Amino acid sequence: MSVSPGEIGRIDLIVAGSVAVDSGGARLGKGGGYSDLEFALARAVGVVDETTPIVTTVHELQVVDDTIPMTAHDVPLDVVVTPDRVIRTHRRRRKPAGIFWEALSDEQLAEMPALAKLARTRARPPRRRA
């Protein structure tokens, strides 16, 4: 049985996987941007918003002192939990308001059927090629 994103209902909390984080709310994932795309899709269908908390759990060694660069589509963390502490990030930027259609490739759309379905229902600019 398949459930469309709009049928999920309100999401109260998102736990994001992270490879490294900084105290300002930036994170590095495994690559590919799928966590950010999932948030953007959830935002586009109205099941998350600016106030939805984004949390990650990491080892203390994964909290870096350097600032991790972020792009406009990166979703900032609100809370980082390690075995030793809880960091409330006081993030520097807002969460993305939706999907950055122009940045998506055909391959990304093919790998996320819910995103591809939403793309077919909306007028959008041409995608970039991967």
| pLDDT, tens digit (0-9, with 9 covering 90-100), for 39-74 | 998 998 899 999 999 999 999 999 999 999 999 999
Asked if residue 65 belongs to a domain, the reply is yes
Asked if residue 97 belongs to a domain, the reply is yes
Residue entry with tokens 């966590």 = 35
Q: Which amino acid is at 24?
A: G
**0.85 exceeded by pTM:** no
The pLDDT value recorded for residue 52 is 97
Picking from 51, 65, 85, 52, the residue whose alpha carbon sits closest to that of residue 21 is 65
Asked if residue 127 belongs to a domain, the reply is no
- Report the distance separating Cα 12 and Cα 49, nearest Å: 10
Token readout for 129 is 């090629």
DSSP string, 77-119: PSEEE-SS-EEE---SSPPP-S--GGG--HHHHHH-HHHHHHH
Residue entry with tokens 């991790």 = 68
Asked if residue 51 belongs to a domain, the reply is yes
37 and 96 Cβ atoms separated by less than 8 Å: no
Of 109 and 53, the structure prediction assigns the larger pLDDT to 53
- Report the distance separating Cα 9 and Cα 45, nearest Å: 10
Print the domain residue range for 82: 10-121
Q: What percent of the chain has pLDDT over 70?
A: 89
Mean pLDDT of all residues in 87-98: 90
Asked if residue 115 belongs to a domain, the reply is yes
Q: 90: burial class by Cβ within 10 Å (0-12, 13-18, 19+)?
A: exposed
Mean pLDDT of all residues in 102-109: 83
Asked if residue 73 belongs to a domain, the reply is yes
Asked if residue 45 belongs to a domain, the reply is yes
Asked if residue 4 belongs to a domain, the reply is no
Number of domains in the chain: 1
Categorize the per-residue pLDDT at 25 as very low, low, confident or very high, splitting at 50, 70 and 90. Answer: very high
